[in-house]
Amino acid sequence: MPFVIEQNNATGAISYWRGGGHQSEADENGVSLAEYIHLLYGLIRQRNARRVLMIGGGGGTLATMLDRAGVETVIVDVDPAAFEIARDYFHLPEHIERHVADGAQFLKKEKRRFDAIVLDAFSGAEIPEHLVTRGFFALVKSRLATRGGLCLINLIVGDDDDPLPHEIGSRMGTIWRNVRLIDRPDW
């Protein structure tokens, strides 16, 4: 699938577009300019996570920011080009562990536990259906640290009437006692 890298000459910001979707935007140092990435980063840091799994890499800005804070980060993405783009344009450090794989298949084989698992994987504007099933969430829970493990999901919704967040939240609620939806009208 073709991609576009765009640089704003006035600010130095870099944007990554793929398949019509905006994947990442960062300053010249690889720090994300997307508010939701800073929200994810803040939630992960509040939990003092030491090992994070990211399913979906985009430009790797969250991984880069976590790495700079000393957090061990593992990225899984189905597209090998995503890792090259993240390295070449968004400063993804070479030592960050990367796997070209489907997130569910990776979790089935992976035995390590993570303090946080971030799902930010899209096919177009949609999260692949198999990554939002009750079975997938049970698999995620089995790979989280036993106390205080955190599962974070980025969703794109059409409008306030879109049932997707509540449907996914309900599925997650069958696995975890505490499920929260964070929404901002301008995101």
3-class secondary-structure state, position 61? helix
How many other C-beta atoms are found inside a 10 Å radius of the C-beta of residue 113?
A: 14
CA angle 179, 185, 187 (to 5 degrees): 85
Of 106, 116, 129, 146, the residue nearest 50 (C-alpha): 116
Of 112, 180, 186, the residue nearest 142 (C-alpha): 112
Is 120 a catalytic site residue?
Answer: yes
Alpha-carbon Rg for the chain, nearest whole angstrom, is 16
Active-site residue, from 77, 88, 120, 183? 120
d(CA 78, CA 99): 8
Residues serving a catalytic function are 120
